[in-house]
Structures are given as structure tokens and as C-alpha cells.
Amino acid sequence: MGISDSIISLYDFDNEIRKKHKTICGVDEAGRGPLAGDVYAAAVVLDEKTIIEGLDDSKKLSEKKREALYDEIIQKAKAYCVATASIAEIEEINILQATMLAMKRAIEGLEIEIDCALIDGNSSPNLSCNAKTVVKGDMTSASIAAASILAKVSRDRYMLKMAEMHPEYCFEKHKGYATKLHYERLMEYGISEIHRPSFLKKLIK
């Protein structure tokens, strides 16, 4: 079974960056949009000679596939780090800045020094290394795709723990996003300590 063209394309992008920057990491976030919970970010350094088949934007993958790839990524990555910014930090500095903070923590938490961070999206945290923003990076770069999977799986697991603590909100079903079910439970039970008040101003009023 051969390696798909889409996977080769993801690695080709990273290899082009490596011509100028020897050691790169991919960075992505999960949980920027939900009404509840921390925001997560992951940074991943892949070995350029190791191909992980099936890498893609985490949102395009089934939960089962993400879980399988999560295990393969952490096994094969040269380095990785998952970091968070808390609900309190989201409320204090806003969700964009909290996302940047989580990304910065993930990059700085890597066990090896990097030359360039490839950041999904069009905003970058203030870093001591070079940084390149990549719009739709999780569909462009293998390193960012790997980071998107680690961030997504880590946050989903966190929300499953929150579901055990707050079963009335059904977090296991919507992971804190603004679904009809979530709003119904909010109307019935009110806002918990793991909700983001700034995202629920209309409901609070």
C-alpha cells in the first residue's frame, strides 16, 4: 500500500521550510470556540524521515481515527507538548490572547530547541524563535496536522472528565460547543464554574 499524495504534499511543505530552518514544530489549538472549558494547544516536532499515514486536519477525522493517530504521533514524534490556558485566563485576556498563550506554552514546553514554529491560522504568539503563520495549516503541513490531532484529542479527553463532574450539561456529547442541547441545559441548570461568562453575556442578562 503506497503513501497517499495528500500525505506526501503535507511533508513536502514541511521539507521546504526545513531548507531554511533545520528544526521546525507545528502548532495548533483546540477549543477556541466553545462556551466552556480551557483552550488547548499542541506543538509537535516530527522526524522528517518518518511518515505517519493518515495525517489530516483533526476536524476531518473520526474520533476513532484521531485516537489511533494520537498514539502514533506521540510514539514517533521527536518532541511534543500539549499546553492550556485556563477559563480564568480566557476571561482576563480574551480568547485570542489566551489561545496565543497556550500556543506559547506548548512551544516553550518542547524538550528540544526549534528554529521555526509553524502556527496554524493568521496570528502568532510572541516567540524567541522564528514563526510562520499558515492559514489552513492543518491541511497544509504535516507538523501542524499532527499538532491539531494532539490538541483536539487532549481537549476532548478533558471535556469527558468535565462531563463526569457535571453530567447535567452532557459535555460528552458536545464538548462545550454551542449546540442546541448545550443551550437547553444552560437554560435549565444555569452557568457552571467551567463555563466562559464572556461567551454567555446574553444568557447571563
**CA angle at residue 172 from 42 to 70, to 5 degrees?**
30
> Is residue 189 a part of any domain in this protein?
no
pLDDT of residue 83: 98
> Is residue 22 a part of any domain in this protein?
yes
Amino acid letter for position 5: D
What CATH number is associated with residue 25?
3.30.420.10
Q: What is the mean pLDDT of residues 159-182?
A: 97
pLDDT of residue 8: 74
> Is residue 110 a part of any domain in this protein?
yes
Instruction: Please tell me the total count of domains within the chain.
Output: 1
Report whether pLDDT(157) > 80: yes
pLDDT of residue 12: 93
Give tens-digit pLDDT for 77-127: 999 999 999 999 999 999 999 999 999 999 999 999 999 999 999 999 999
Greater pLDDT, 4 or 55: 55
> Is residue 58 a part of any domain in this protein?
yes
Query: CA 120 from chain center: how many Å?
Result: 9
State which residues form the domain around 151: 5-158
Mean pLDDT of the chain: 93
> Is residue 54 a part of any domain in this protein?
yes
C-alpha cell recorded at residue 169: 450539561
SS3 65: helix
pLDDT of residue 1: 36
> Is residue 183 a part of any domain in this protein?
no
> Is residue 109 a part of any domain in this protein?
yes
Please state, in angstroms and rounded to a whole number, the distance separating the CA atoms of residues 98 and 189: 27
> Is residue 122 a part of any domain in this protein?
yes
